[in-house]
């Protein structure tokens, strides 16, 4: 499964869920279920490829500017929280993922974000989609982890230990307004 096939599967699941699920908070589980159901119709090898593509996309979003956006939107700064945020960003679909990578401040346009309030784009459940699908297909609870460990494609993905880009003080409201003015207007003003 290449990145185009990854996005086709995910965007199809997003379209299905977005047509049925109007409550954004309920969307997290629904998108995870919709992706899992699509994956169990594939081969175990394709599930491994899905997991690898998602890992690559999550690593591409491992940037300080996106972490600062996550801090404004979700209100905390932790490795686990940012992992969930990146999973959630991917689960929004290709359109929102690519917009956010091009300009993290564009997340201010997302319907769940632009109203402010208690918004959680993070989707911890989405992290487990491929693992559950692989288990359902093979009966091996740890099979995906073993398959990923054996994959030569996974080696470079294990080397990313720090976010890329420039870091600034997220506790400094003026810095946040300078770097992410639209998100700051929603969450700081």
The single residue listed with the structure tokens 């090898």 is 45
Nearest Cα to Cα of residue 37 among 124, 137, 114: 137
Nearest Cα to Cα of residue 62 among 80, 82, 77: 82
Stretch 33-56: mean pLDDT: 96
66-80, 102-116, 129-143, 144-158: the lowest-pLDDT one: 144-158
Q: For the chain, what's the residue count?
A: 189
pLDDT higher than 70, residue 158: no
89 touches 96 (CB < 8 A): yes
Stretch 125-129: mean pLDDT: 94
Nearest Cα to Cα of residue 133 among 53, 69, 64, 39: 39
Q: What angle do CA 83, 96, 89 make, to 5 degrees?
A: 10
The alpha-helical segments, DSSP class H, found in 40-128 are 44-60, 64-74, 79-91, 94-102, 111-114
pLDDT higher than 80, residue 110: yes
In tens, the pLDDT along 165-189 reads 998 899 899 999 999 999 999 999 7
The mean predicted confidence, pLDDT, of the chain is 91
């Amino acid at each position: 499964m290449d990145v185009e096939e990854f996005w086709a599967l995910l965007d199809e699941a997003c379209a299905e869920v977005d047509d049925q699920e109007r409550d954004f908070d309920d969307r997290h589980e629904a998108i995870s279920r919709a992706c899992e159901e699509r994956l169990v119709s594939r081969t175990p090898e394709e599930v491994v490829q899905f997991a690898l593509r998602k890992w690559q996309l999550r690593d591409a979003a491992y940037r300080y500017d996106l972490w600062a956006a996550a801090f404004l939107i979700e209100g905390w700064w932790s490795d686990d929280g940012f992992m969930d945020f990146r999973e959630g960003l991917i689960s929004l679909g290709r359109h929102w993922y690519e917009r956010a990578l091009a300009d993290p401040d564009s997340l201010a346009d997302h319907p769940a974000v632009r109203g402010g309030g208690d918004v959680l784009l993070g989707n911890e459940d989405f992290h487990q989609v491929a693992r559950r699908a692989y288990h359902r297909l093979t009966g091996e609870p740890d099979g995906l982890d073993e398959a990923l460990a054996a994959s030569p494609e996974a080696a470079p993905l294990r080397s990313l230990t720090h976010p890329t880009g420039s870091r600034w003080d997220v506790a400094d409201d003026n810095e946040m307004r300078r770097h992410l003015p639209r998100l700051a207007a929603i969450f700081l003003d």
